[in-house]
Structure 1
Amino acid sequence: MRIRLCLAVLSLAGGAGLATLTAPTATAAACTDIDVVAVRGTFEPGTLGAIVGDPVYSALQRKLTGKNLSSYKVDYPANLSLTSAAQGNADLVNHVRSQASSCPNQRFVLVGYSQGANVVDNSLGISSEGAVVGSPIVATIPTALEPRVAAVLLFGNPIRALGKSVTGVYQSRTADFCAAGDPVCENGGDDVLAHLGYTADADAAATFAASRV
């Protein structure tokens, strides 16, 4: 019940004030230094995601002044369908593979919020099956491209409620934010509004990413 209420709050917020936020212009397919690949949460409005993607991208632009940045909004439904996260998983991996082939010197920052974090988890080879709006893995970033993933920024990551997290080669490059009481990422959490507060972590996330670029 708490999870459904949290998703309902996010849906209603998307139809209210969040959609009016000024968002940065997103670009894709350019051979920039850093490509920020953002995966929005369930029903989240905004260019890259009003709660996380847009503020994180803006913060990265401020932090990485010596780098050229581009951005990509992962193309997936971001709804409650059983295949939503899997579609995002496939699109994220396809985008990284394509960009890496076209731009040999480009590196990536992966950003995922809520269901979007599931998408990123899967793309790194960590299954989100069984988590809120999770799915089995359908594609993973090739091992040869792993060194080009500079940082992974996750917010309200549903696999944390299962006692899981990003491990292995990506662990030291991952910042995984879970607000106290957020029922999506904290087992037993009871503060549904905590899931909507991750804009406050944008600067800290960008600082973490900048230290690894």
Structure 2
Amino acid sequence: MKELLLRALALFHRQTPYIWDGTCATGIHMIVARGSTEAPGLGRIGVVAQNVSMLIPNSSVAAVDYPATFENYFTSYATGASEFERLVLEHVQACPDTRIALLGYSQGAHAMMDSVCGDGDGEFVLSLGFRQALASQVVAVVGFGDPSFNATAPWSVGTSTGAGLFARKNITACEPYAARIQSWCDEGDVYCDLGNDRAVHGSYFSNYTQEAAQFVKEKFDNSDPVIDLPTTTAPPTETTAPTETVSTSILTPTSTPTETTIPQSAAGSFGPSWMMVASIVGSMMVWMELL
């Protein structure tokens, strides 16, 4: 039995890229974004999708098609955020009765959370259609090792009490969906906690896969699929990110940053100030990857 399960998991991960076939699932439809440098497809976060599929029969999965690179990190994860929106809207139009879950790991979690919350500086704005889709059909959002993690956000779980490289402060856009979000980060993670233990970043799958899958199952079974969105724009709600100390040597780029083209999409766009910060932190990520 164990051997058959391992073969099934191996087959599940070999199907890359993982493209939705257009069939409306009677279970849940999952949109999944892999982590940095993982091969196109579901990546390691796919094991959570596999566990959800076991708990919710007749479910379907689609992989977010984005670069997932450290180089040009800003362009990469911004593309991922836009793709999350495109895939959600595509599915809502085709299957208006199917519930949806979003899953992301590492850079994929960053892209996912920016698609739901905006970029934290108010420069990445959710379209009305996407907000309505999040309110009506997206019942669960699960992240592992998100670089925009902030332990003070209401959906933050795990052992971290700190904040990531892109610690999210403005959570206004995603507050209506807070009960449907869970983002795991553990102490020591180099990306979501600014720690120094690289092994932690890959440990979520052995520690939290079943818990994350059960969270999706519970939201699928119990949550009201419609959220009342505010009719007026509320002042931004900011959370205070825990203070972290980062060596200034890490922040010094080793080469002259190259210009990047900012992608435009229905999800919105990023401004130049955010691109500058992301370019610097992208250099930090490359530096830490070489350690």
Q: Which residue of 2 aligns with 1:142?
A: 130
1:47 CA displacement: 3.5
Kindly tell me: are residues 159 and 165 of structure 1, through their superposed partners in 2, closer, same or farther at Cα, counting changes over 3 Å?
A: farther
Q: Which residue of 1 aligns with 2:62?
A: 72
Q: Please tell me whether the aligned partners of residues 188 and 196 of structure 2 are also in contact (alpha carbons under 8 angstroms).
A: yes
Q: Please tell me whether the aligned partners of residues 23 and 46 of structure 1 are also in contact (alpha carbons under 8 angstroms).
A: no
Q: Which has the larger radius of gyration?
A: 2
Q: Which residue of 2 aligns with 1:30?
A: 23
Q: Please tell me whether the aligned partners of residues 77 and 84 of structure 1 are also in contact (alpha carbons under 8 angstroms).
A: yes
What letter corresponds to residue 63 of structure 2 in structure 1?
K
Structure 2: state its 5+ residue gaps.
1-8, 150-163, 221-291
What letter corresponds to residue 72 of structure 1 in structure 2?
A
Structure 1: state its 5+ residue gaps.
1-20, 130-135
What letter corresponds to residue 124 of structure 2 in structure 1?
I
1:193 aligns with 2:186: no
Q: Please tell me whether the aligned partners of residues 74 and 91 of structure 1 are also in contact (alpha carbons under 8 angstroms).
A: yes
1:36 CA displacement: 0.4
Q: Which residue of 2 aligns with 1:106?
A: 98
The count of corresponding residues between Structure 1 and Structure 2 is: 182
1:164 CA displacement: 4.4
**Residues 17-56 of structure 1, C-alpha deviations (whole Å, 9 max, x = no match):** xxxx71415451221132100001101237411x22x210
Give the CA RMSD over aligned residues.
2.2
For 1:124-135, what aligned pairs fall within 5 Å after superposition? 124-127=116-119
TM-score, length-scaled by structure 2: 0.58
1:147 CA displacement: 2.3
1:100 CA displacement: 0.4
Q: Distance in 2 between matches of 1:155 and 1:77?
A: 18
1:88 CA displacement: 1.0
Kindly tell me: are residues 116 and 204 of structure 1, through their superposed partners in 2, closer, same or farther at Cα, counting changes over 3 Å?
A: same
| Larger deviation, residues 108-117 vs 194-203 | 194-203
Quote the sequence identity (%). Answer: 29
Q: Please tell me whether the aligned partners of residues 27 and 70 of structure 1 are also in contact (alpha carbons under 8 angstroms).
A: no
